[in-house]
Structure 1
Amino acid sequence: MGMNVHPTSSPAGRLAAVGNQMIEIHLWLTAELARLRASLDTAAPEDAHPSRDLRAHCLAFCAALGRHHTAEDGGAFRLLADQVPELRPVLANLITDHEVVAGILGRIEDLLGGATPMPVARVRGELDGLAALLESHFRYEEKRLVTALNALTGQPGTVEDLLG
């Protein structure tokens, strides 16, 4: 059927309100992380079944967050660095955050990689650190970039290219 799940992307492939879309993605990622942490809190570490589901949920979240940051680095941030050079120091800070996040995601993936049962307490510790970092990262990114991103309206491209 080809239902369009991104109704804001116009048929012409022109960018519209990219900054608002970034906020939407951040809200979704934040809600997913909260769901993941809540499901960890109810998990019985010695029970293999929630562990398998949790492992899958964890890995899916890590992949989604990683995709978003990789796309920002190569898409939105590159475009802004070209068009709004005064934002380059802000973008450099955000890319540094992305590297820290990637390190946390790597540690989570390592924890999920082998151990059975899942080392719930250690995964929870990493997710707590990730949640604290993302909260400040997302706020800073939104405060500094939304207006500039929304000014890109009308340029060719897709939100997926810029934000993942």
Structure 2
Amino acid sequence: MTGGELTAVPTPVSDVRLSPDRLWDERTRPQAPPPEAGRRYTPREQAGGRRLIEVHNYLRTELARLRTLMSDVSAGAIGPAAARAALHALALWPAETQLAGSCRAFCRIVLLHHHREDTDLFPRLRAFEPPLGPVVARLEQEHEALHGLVERIDRTLVAEPLDVPALRATVDLLTDALLSHLSYEEHELVEPLARLWG
């Protein structure tokens, strides 16, 4: 087989944590079976892993934008009333101008990404490589937990009065959990994706 080593490099797990809470125990995560020693990958095979990392990098960028806007609310640069109004009239507000709109847009992207994985990618991986089943099941469980945090942020944004410390705490927990999840997914799926799309 022609090709080379995998060039899609999974994002390292960060040691920096913003929240004292944990959404799950990372030590209990299953791992994918090790790749075949000396395996070479064609450019076509490598495309799937690179695309996964590209999408995840976009989510990381949007998460950073959400965090910046959350800080603006905390500092009073964006008022709670404006944030709540944006949540109720999202079609009228550009996502990048208000926290609620940005959160809703970010949350839609995360949910859509996870939905596509859960309904399209993960069933294919299970059928293609049954020993990967425990990893896929864990990723699905983490998706559900992340969706719960997204809903908590939505509820916090519409509550009166706006509980800024609760908002900050939930966004911090979402940041830790989502970054950990994306890294775990990349580490476990980049190599199987190369073989799946080969």
User: Which of the five TM-score ranges fits, normalised by the shorter chain?
Assistant: 0.7 to 0.9
Tell me the C-alpha RMSD between the 2 structures: 2.2
When normalised by structure 2's length, the TM-score is 0.64
Give the unaligned 5+ runs of structure 2.
1-43, 87-97
CA contact (8 A) 2:72 2:78 kept: no
Quick check: 121-130 or 78-87, which moved more?
121-130
Greater RCO, CA 8 A, separation 6+? 1
CA contact (8 A) 1:94 1:141 kept: yes
Counterpart of 2:49 (choices 4, 19, 24) is 19
Q: Structure 1, residues 41-98: CA drift from partner, whole Å, max 9, x if none?
A: 1221772346632111111111110111111011111100000111001111111111
Q: 1:115 and 2:159 equivalent? A: yes
* Aligned residue type for 2:55: I
CA contact (8 A) 1:45 1:120 kept: no
- Give the 5 Å matches for 1:7-156: 17-43=47-73, 44=76, 47=79, 48-49=81-82, 52=86, 53-112=98-157, 114-116=158-160, 118-153=162-197
Q: What is the distance in 2 between the residues matched to 1:18 and 1:46?
A: 40
Which structure has the greater CA radius of gyration? 2
Q: What is the distance in 2 between the residues matched to 1:151 and 1:17?
A: 11
* Aligned residue type for 1:145: L
Q: What is the distance in 2 between the residues matched to 1:61 and 1:117?
A: 23
Higher-helix-fraction structure: 1
Give the unaligned 5+ runs of structure 1.
1-13, 155-164
When normalised by structure 1's length, the TM-score is 0.76
CA contact (8 A) 1:45 1:117 kept: no
CA contact (8 A) 1:19 1:150 kept: yes
Shift >2 Å, 4+ stretches: 45-52, 114-121, 150-154
- Tell me by how many angstroms 1:121 deviates: 2.4
Q: What is the distance in 2 between the residues matched to 1:79 and 1:46?
A: 44
CA contact (8 A) 2:128 2:196 kept: no
